[in-house]
Amino acid sequence: MSSTATNQAKTTRANGSSKTPQAPLPRKRNSLAKGHLPRFAVLAIAAGALVLGAASSTLTGFSIASFAIYSAIIFVLAGSIITTVVEGPRRGKNALATYLVYGAFLLALIPLASVLFTVLQKGLPGINMHFLFHSMNGVTGAIDNASVENGTPVLGGAYHAVVGTLLITLWATLISVPVGMLTAVYLVEYGKNGPLARAITFFVDVMTGIPSIVAGLFATALFAVLLGPTARMGIVAAVALSVLMIPTVVRSTEEMLKIVPNELREASYALGVRKWRTITKVVIPTAISGIASGVTLAIARVIGETAPILVTAGLANNINANVFGNWMATLPTFIYYQIITPTSPTNIDPSIQRAWAAALLLIVMVMVLNLGARLIASLFAPKKGR
Amino acid sequence: MTSNALRRQGSKGQAGDKIFSGAALGAGILILITLFAVAIFLLIQALPTFTANPALITGGEGFASYIFPIVIGTVIAASIALLIATPVGIAVALFISHYAPRKLAAGLGYVIDLLAAIPSVIYGAWGYLVLAPALVPSYQWLAENMGFIPLFGGPASQTGKTILTAGIVLAVMVLPIITSLSREIFLQTPKLHEEAALALGATRWEMITMSVLPFARPGIISAVMLGLGRALGETMAVALVLSTGGLIPSLIKSGNQTIAAEIALNFPEAFGLRLSELIAAGLVLFVITLAVNLIARAIIARHKEFSGAN
């Protein structure tokens, strides 16, 4: 054997079990692991960073935020520098990128957690039967002042806004779903990727990007031309919302219709069934779970829209169940106005409390719709087995 | 007799076929009409602004000098949002597609989608009542230590209701858009490219810079453009968070205004010429976001054939 010393060292472990009398070196680390940080190194660096972070945060006046920021900076710097020294610059760069990617994800969770926590913490005290089933009709600044001074419960609620939200969203759904579904049927079943179908696909994509306030202005301008400049009522808001909702419905329905296997259509045609019967009795029922979940997501998207309601339905303090006449309130505009123009300018707390309670109500609605969409999609999905 | 029966049945079905395909075609055309109607009706209602005496427009110097500062304000807010949301959004997308354990990835994607589900008015309320007060100390620090840069010129706002706060709230709202689109594209990177890079001894980060990012570049650009469209048109966050004023360079003082917030704040009381002014502002916003979206969609469409990105 003409092996060099290094080769011998490298093969030590391989030869360890052979007859060579050379004593195994249990303390020596595997040569393949040479130049690697041990696993506990990351934890050790993290612990060190936390200590140093706490120390430097205390120097500048301790706060949770500065503690977290200093610790994170120290950890990322120390971790990547130590990795660079021990494992080389390439792995150092890799470690830095890994820490930053993990950090970005944690950073993105902060606003989500903060928003949900704030809404729960500030909204829960305001939720009660009075809030849910009373409108703001007759609730004035004097009543709010009295409730603050005497410590009595806050009067006034969001019932009118809930009614408005549900009605306007219902009408928007009634407009958008037929138009959106028929368009998707045209794109998938009739358009055959012709110029018109491609134009529709393109403009539907563009429509998803229309700012919501522009959709509101469009509905206002449309009804102003039709009914005069002061036409503000629920149906105008519903038209504005359906401008926002139609593209979502088209896209989700289109995706779902596309994945219906062609064999189903062909089998139906082979039995002599007309195309429109095939579509309504075979294609759409197969895809209905996906379509329903897409529509639910579209509703969840528009139910929280504020800006288009602001410019189309105005604001009401009383219950108005007629979408074809008079101003209406919805939960988002209720929240907005309670914050921006408190009922009692001197004691804003009751208004803020109502705003957070309404925000909690709205977030619960949106979350229920989102979860509902997931449930519909998974529960009623056609079996995938082939 | 048989052929008669067949023909009779056939003609009955034919009517249904024609009605149904006609309805489908009609719905498709209705969408095209709607989009053009948006432009036309806004134009009709905005027309008085362009023909009116310039002295009667808010500010007294015509529509151009009225709209210019708020267009710039809109661009500033959207730029802040994108400067924050682009790197974070791409990193989060990478985390979900290439770093997180495979079993967790789908759930984590859903968590980020929740960010997109929260209504904008709630972000506005959060920015107004929670984020803005929390940022006041940082703004004061910036004004004291970085005040020589005009962007951080003091004295800092005492309420924290500044364009920087509005930009941060917008960044949170834009983040899920950038993340979900980038994630889709990252997942479509050819597995063989990734495995080839890893087999040559590349670290994970080298594999990402060599195979994933070049493949996804057009997709990332269009994701950022779509995010920009959202940030430009977002209303409530800015209307609630920003304490408005004239155009100023400092990001940490009250001031600046965006188009969408200008409309939302003034529309309820507006009538006559003011109303048409605001609708004209909406038209400008529509044109800007339309251009941004068209560019984004064109980039996606051009790279669609070989990336499958959408």
pLDDT higher than 80, residue A3 = no
Which among B88, B117, B204 has CB closest to A370?
A: B117
Q: Is the pLDDT of residue A2 over 50?
A: no
* Token pair 């709010």: residue: A144
Residue B224 has pLDDT above 50, yes or no: yes
Question: Which range has the worst mean pLDDT, A63-77, A246-260, A328-342, B227-241?
Answer: A63-77
Please state the three-class secondary structure of chain A as a single string. CCCCHHHHHHHHHHHCCCCCCCCCCCCCCCHHHCCCCCCHHHHHHHHHHHHHHHHHHHHCCCCHHHHHHHHHHHHHHHHHHHHHHHHCHHHHHHHHHHHHHHHHHHHHHHHHHHHHHHHHHHHHHHCCHHHHHCCCCCCCHHHHHHHHHHCCCCCCCCHHHHHHHHHHHHHHHHHHHHHHHHHHHHHHHHCCCCHHHHHHHHHHHHHCCCCHHHHHHHHHHHHHHHHCCCCCCHHHHHHHHHHHHHHHHHHHHHHHHHCCCHHHHHHHHHCCCCHHHHHHHHHHHHHHHHHHHHHHHHHHHHHCCCHHHHHHCCCCCCCCCCCCCCCCCCHHHHHHHHHHCCCCCCCCHHHHHHHHHHHHHHHHHHHHHHHHHHHHHHHCCCCCCC
Closest chain A CA to residue B278 = A217
What mean pLDDT comes out for the span A296-305?
Answer: 89
Question: What is the percent of chain A with per-residue pLDDT over 90, rounded to a whole number?
Answer: 22
Confidence check: pLDDT of B83 > 80: yes
pLDDT at A33: 60
Q: Chain B partners of A211 at a C-beta cutoff of 8 Å?
A: 229, 232-235, 260, 285-286, 289
Which tokens sit at B98? Answer: 């290439």
Beta-carbon count within 10 A of A130 CB:
14
- Reference B254, options B242, B266, B262, B263; nearest CA is B242
Name the residue of chain A whose CA is nearest to B95's CA: A101
Mean pLDDT of the residues in chain A = 82
**B132-158: pLDDT as tens digits:** 888 888 888 888 887 777 777 777 778
Whole-model pTM: value is 0.84
Average pLDDT over residues A3-21: 46
Question: A19 or B47: whose pLDDT is higher?
Answer: B47
Q: Show which of residues 115-174 on chain B sit within 8 Å of chain A, judged by CB atoms.
A: 115, 117-126, 128-131, 134, 172
Which pLDDT band, with edges at 50, 70 and 90, does A4 fall under? very low
pLDDT band at A132 (very low <50, low <70, confident <90, very high): confident
Cα B160 to Cα B152: distance, rounded to the nearest angstrom: 13
CB B97 within 8 A of CB B105: yes
CATH class of A143-380: mainly alpha
Contact call for B124 and A336, based on CB within 8 A? yes
Residue B206: name the closest of A86, A102, A33, A97 by CA. A97
Token duo for residue A259 = 């994945």
Burial of residue B196 (CB within 10 Å: 0-12, 13-18, 19+) is middle
Q: Is B203–A90 a contact, with Cβ atoms under 8 angstroms apart?
A: yes
Write the CB contacts of B204 (distance below 8 Å, at least 6 apart in sequence).
A94, A97, A98, B98, B99, B198
* Cβ-defined contact of B35 to A246 (cutoff 8 Å): no
Question: CA A322, CA A328: separation in Å to the nearest integer?
Answer: 8
Q: Where are the domains of chain A?
A: 36-125, 143-380
**ipTM of the complex model:** 0.83
What are the pLDDT digits (tens) for A66-91? 788 888 888 888 888 888 888 888 88
Distance from CA of A22 to the nearest CA of B (A): 33
Residues of B in Cβ contact (< 8 Å) with A226: none
Among B23, B234, B275, select the one facing A182 at the smallest CB separation. B23
Q: How many residue pairs bridge chain A and chain B with CB atoms within 8 Å of each other?
A: 276
pLDDT at A285 over 50: yes
Mind listing the pLDDT tens digit for each residue in A160-179? 889 889 999 999 999 999 99
**CA angle at residue A326 from B34 to B286, to 5 degrees?**
30
Q: Which residues, 6+ apart, have CB-to-CB distance to A110 below 8 Å? A: none
The answer to whether B255 and B244 have CB atoms below 8 angstroms apart is: yes
Residue of B nearest to A214 (CA): B282
| Predicted confidence (pLDDT) at residue A43 exceeds the cutoff of 80 | yes
Tokens matching residue B234: 């977002």
- Which of A63, A66, A105 is best to mutate for the B interface (most B CBs within 10 A)? A105
